[in-house]
Amino acid sequence: MPSSQTNLGLLWSYYGSLFPSFTDPITPNISGMSFAKYVNLGLEQVINSGTWDGNVVWTAFNGSSGTIALPYNMQTIIGVDINGCPQMVLGTFSEYQEVGPGMTLKVTQPGCGPLIDYGEWPTQKIISSLTPLNATSPASGTLTLTINNPADAGITIRFFGINGAGQDITDADGSRGFTMVTTYPSVTSSQVVTELGYIEVQNPTSTPPFKNPWQLSLNYNGSQLIGSYLPFETIPQYHVYKTGTWNTNVPIAALCRLKFVPVTSINDPIVPGNLNAWKFILQAIDKEMSQTVEGAYGSKMLWQDALNLLNQEHRSRRGKAQYHVNLNPNGPGQRPVWSSH
């Protein structure tokens, strides 16, 4: 997890007085806006504007399943190391490029080094990856929702996906998707799915909707756990990469960029946590909300001030660390190279 010296409550104590229409960090004013929404609007923009201090985190996996899914708060891999060797990360379109690798890296076949971006999915384990290597039909089955506390019963969750006939699943009204209502300890659907593309927690609308983690399993060759969710995940999405299969003792270390996750509590950390930069970010969002030409122009200037401060912070924290172009005379993925510049 990233570290930060700033949270929503601290931002409010510093800059809440700049916005007199808000009485506290969370409660909306008469127009339905709140200080927390200002922060979230700014947070999404700043996270997607650069690789700032605190916005780069690392995690580790084993590649025994053939794919890896980044945690809920990580956006994408910016560097990967498999068993001590830096490796390439190929984009989603690489399999379709004339000079690319094609679809040679299968989920069920041994890994050969590079990772291939497999897009965003609502589950950590993709249903198609459960299909045995020599199977004549794709994996499919019904879904089971499991909750860990009776207090989380009665919550409606909607699923969008493909059925066993290869068609979009629709409900009795003809709307896309189908719903399940949580029951303690578990409930199983009658709908067979071969692919899930979207999951939404619809009811209750409180934040967070759950009080405890919950799980999703596919009933195929037994019960297969395909998703495990935290209470505040209302529309879960995970960035997945094809790795090919590796031994469980082979570590896949990934350096990742953070993903925007809305803050809802005064104790939620703010990353990046540069207080001076946030002074300009919040004023920029306020200018944007004015919906005037003058406000739009002023917002651009304030954003420039904020990004300049974040860049200065990055340079000051870099210290003696230097960036060099990677050059491995043995080719990528052959062996670790301690000094290759």
Q: What is the pLDDT of residue 341?
A: 42
Q: What is the pLDDT of residue 126?
A: 92
Which positions ≥6 away from 117 have C-beta within 8 Å?
76, 89, 90, 91, 92, 94, 239, 241
How is 194-231 classified by DSSP, letter by letter?
SEEEEEEEEE--SSSS-SS-EEEEEESSSEEEEEEE-T
* pLDDT, tens digit, 9 for 90 and up, residues 140-164: 999 999 999 999 999 999 999 999 8
Rounded to a whole number of angstroms, the distance between the first and last alpha carbons of the chain is 31
Which residue did the predictor score with more confidence, 320 or 299? 299
Mean pLDDT of the chain: 89
Give the mean pLDDT of 49-70. 89
* pLDDT, tens digit, 9 for 90 and up, residues 187-246: 999 999 999 999 999 987 777 899 999 999 999 999 999 999 999 999 999 999 999 888
Q: What is the pLDDT of residue 109?
A: 77
| Gyration radius of the chain over CA positions | 23
Three-state secondary structure call for residue 16 = helix
Q: Evaluate whether 96 touches 103 at the Cβ level (below 8 Å).
A: no
* pLDDT, tens digit, 9 for 90 and up, residues 239-267: 999 998 888 888 999 999 999 999 989 99
Whole-model pTM: value is 0.86
Distance of alpha carbon 178 from alpha carbon 140, whole angstroms: 16
- List the chain domain ranges: 8-48+265-317, 52-119+239-259, 123-236
